[in-house]
Amino acid sequence: MLYCCSCTTPLGPATAAADEEALTGFWFVGQKYYPAAGTAFIERPDHPVFVDLRRWLDRYFAGENPLPDLALNPGGSPFQKEVWDILLRIPHGKVSTYGAIAAQLAKRRGAPFMSARAVGSAVGHNPISLLIPCHRVVGSDGSLTGYAGGIDKKEFLLRLEQADYSGIRRKRG
């Protein structure tokens, strides 16, 4: 059974999804890769996962660094889940690059190379925005690129976290 609820954030409305025990999705309304119309969710705002999520969101948007203490269960390929696991290790207020994540994956797998584009695709398809912090990944030149919720939201989140991204320029186009 999949449940959903609506959430209000300083960045606009969002939708959360959960199974019986864990958060399976968190999307800003209208973002790229938003769940398709007709997805079979049961509205249940009182679900314990959503109660915990709203508490986490309140703390996060108050500028705190809440521990990711919610159970997460994103659906995806093994490769995507490996990338998302690395995203979970990027500390609050820090950033990484698609290339650096690709290098980590290559090293883990004993491969000479891993595609930063493949990493970018996995990052972009992250179904649990904010809690799996895809907003903390920037281009190799330091540019703010590739956030399914929009670059303006990515920039807001990095500023909220007081991330040191001095020298990062906003990519045009």
4 is catalytic: no
Phi/psi of residue 95, nearest 5 degrees: -130, 160
CA distance 71 to 74: 10
CB hemisphere CA count around 1 (13 angstroms):
7
Residue 116, SS3 per DSSP: helix
The residues, ordered by sequence, that sit 6+ positions from 86 with a Cβ below 8 Å of its Cβ are 96, 101, 104, 105
Q: Which residues are catalytic?
A: 134
